[in-house]
Structure 1
Amino acid sequence: MRIDPILSSLRRDAGPQRRAQRVLEAVRAEWKADRGVSEVLAQFVDYGAGRPLADCPTLAAVACDCGRASAFLAPLINGLVAELSRHPIGHVPFRHQYASGISVLLLGESGRATLSLVTYQNELLSGRSPAQSVCFTGGERYECYLAGSAEACIVEACGETDQGARLVERQLGLDAGETLALDGARVTKLVTRVPQRLVMLRLSRVPERPPPAREYRLADGRLIHRASGSRRESREEMMIALLGRMGRTDAGEVFANLAGSAGSEHLRWEALRQCLSLGTAEGFAALSRLAADRDNVLAAPAAALRSRLASIHPELACLETGPCRA
């Protein structure tokens, strides 16, 4: 195994690594201190807090005009590239990731908003089968295409029901100098061909109350998956599922209370499911209370589940803690 002499030298002295990092962080600090950049970033904070983009004119100009976007990024990119050529062991001082032909450099994150430099490379579609489904996650997104080109399919969900939606597709070319704005609750984008690479500046913001993420089958628009659109709720749902798989019966009362609360329907139903799995008596009692609460949006599905369980297991009737009006 060959180890580059530069990396080998770091075993003896980590000083060059620290110096390289200081230089790159200085480039970032100088970029942020620029008057024009600092104004954009200040309005980005306001946008992340919920301010309309129309009320953030400097940020809007960068997000919706490729010339302004390039001018905004040029000092940072030029500075980082120059210093990386002199200090190749340095790390770009922004969160970044690469997976399956897509690289993301997170330039800023504030509140509900993110500002990213994104690259699609031709490896994105190498060896992949055509997409079989499409997902709508909510939120607004603005993309400025700075270099390269790609072919994409814009998919719009119309007439959504609990079973599916009518998907309307439109082919679109993405070229440097163009921009695109998407309402993620109704419209999404599938990249179908990348000749070499496509580089974009992306500004996005999730809603204050995100709608559920929905995945539809492209062939017929059938709904194949639904999940919470909130990261917080997704984490809570994972914790509930984990406690259920661990058999933590001491969490049953907490789950029963959560099922009858005023939170997300999806999260409360998962809490009810896990409550039933942890303890039949406590879970069935929580199910009966929910079914009897006519003002609760989950009352009808809870009543249907209660009736089905009672018909399969008549002995559950003796677990009732009170009359059920379902």
Structure 2
Amino acid sequence: MHIHADMARLREGLPAQPLTDAALAQWGTRPDVAGAIAGLGRFAQGAALEDLPALHRLLSDADAASALVGGLVNTLIPAMQAEPLAQVPLGHATAPGAARLRLASHGRAVLTLVAHAPADKAEPASALFEDGLAHEIVVAGEGSALVHRLGEGGLTSRTIALAPGTRLQRGGVEDARQIITVSRPLLMLQLTREAARPRPAREIALANGRLIKTISGCKQTSQQMMALCVLGALRHAGALSAMAGLGCDQAAERDLRWEALRQTLAMDTRSGLELLARLAAGRDDPLQSAAEALQRQLAAACPDLAPFLPQPA
């Protein structure tokens, strides 16, 4: 039986991809890469991009960004051709028409290479406004983007052309951007910093600026929301007490508490109505008015629940 040399190397416990690992390490010693990685730590701690020369040059000079990306590609490709089973040990993600490669990270700061495949013009109905800071520069390709701003006067949007050297910046939950056209494969270098305490993201209708929904900006809260949904779908009665406690916890995020109420109502109506009554009775509770409104809606829509709901005065 013939065993390919690459498979034999794996079976013998030898380094699986020495050339690829060495190529990536070599790229990391480049002055521009080393300087950017060093600046990433300070950026994560709150330093302004303008105060970090190496990072600032990458995100403001298309030639510098292209040299960094080109150095990575030109170093890695020959090594990976020689080692067809190799995998670049960098975080990556793909979605229809897009791919992301995490070049470096430190704490809340991440330097990412983003690629967009050619696409016809899209007409988005809404945009997501997320917390955090983002600086981007187009390295290669062409396209267009919608840039949105939520201010005191409401929602404003404008279209900008994307070409090598185009820079974009988002400063928090007031800003959003959407790639709407890619006429030539688009390559962008992106520097982001998560907020220390992310405010909820908001999905806004572009036609009228109406709020469609809010989404927790906290990863832990998102995980808890998912856990609540799973427990509800499983109808895990043993979780009812914990759900009720979470619903009453004013230190928890508003959306998380409301989801706990929803799942409790769906799993056990009596327990859910008792929790709803406690929320409606809490005069200093941020959910008090919403809980009272839900009581009125349930009384009107479900007469069978009337005995368990407060009667109108």
Tell me the equivalent position of 1:252: 240
Query: In the alignment, is residue 75 of structure 1 matched against residue 66 of structure 2?
Result: no
Which one of 295, 300, 307 corresponds to residue 284 of structure 2? 295
CA contact (8 A) 2:39 2:54 kept: yes
Tell me the equivalent position of 1:163: none
SS in 1 for 2:4: helix
Alpha-carbon distance, 1:103 to partner: 1.8
5+ long unaligned stretches in structure 1: 1-5, 161-165
Measured in 2, the distance between the counterparts of 1:238 and 1:97 equals 21
Which one of 112, 129, 132 corresponds to residue 136 of structure 1? 129
Instruction: Tell me the alpha carbon deviations over residues 195-250 of structure 1, each in whole angstroms, 9 at most, x when there is no partner.
Output: 22121110012212222222233333333332222222111101001101111111
- Structure 1 pair 149/301, CA: closer, same or farther in 2 (3 Å)? same
Measured in 2, the distance between the counterparts of 1:48 and 1:260 equals 35
SS in 2 for 1:176: coil
Measured in 1, the distance between the counterparts of 2:152 and 2:199 equals 16
How many correspondences in the alignment?
A: 306
Tell me the equivalent position of 2:164: 176
Tell me the equivalent position of 2:8: 13
Which one of 101, 113, 118 corresponds to residue 97 of structure 2? 101
Measured in 1, the distance between the counterparts of 2:200 and 2:257 equals 14
1:80-91 paired onto structure 2 within 5 Å: 80-91=76-87
Alpha-carbon distance, 1:143 to partner: 0.6
CA contact (8 A) 1:310 1:316 kept: no
Mean CA deviation greater in 233-242 or 35-44: 35-44
- Structure 1 pair 275/15, CA: closer, same or farther in 2 (3 Å)? closer
CA contact (8 A) 1:214 1:225 kept: yes
Measured in 2, the distance between the counterparts of 1:228 and 1:285 equals 26
Tell me the equivalent position of 1:190: 178
Tell me the equivalent position of 1:3: none
Query: In the alignment, is residue 40 of structure 1 matched against residue 28 of structure 2?
Result: no
Measured in 1, the distance between the counterparts of 2:4 and 2:227 equals 45
- Structure 1 pair 216/22, CA: closer, same or farther in 2 (3 Å)? same
Tell me the equivalent position of 1:23: 19
SS in 1 for 2:88: coil
Query: In the alignment, is residue 200 of structure 1 matched against residue 196 of structure 2?
Result: no
SS in 1 for 2:220: helix
Tell me the equivalent position of 2:273: 284
Indicate the percent of aligned positions where both proteins have the same amino acid. Answer: 32
Alpha-carbon distance, 1:102 to partner: 1.3
Measured in 1, the distance between the counterparts of 2:165 and 2:54 equals 18
> Normalising to structure 1: TM-score of the pair?
0.82
Alpha-carbon distance, 1:277 to partner: 2.2
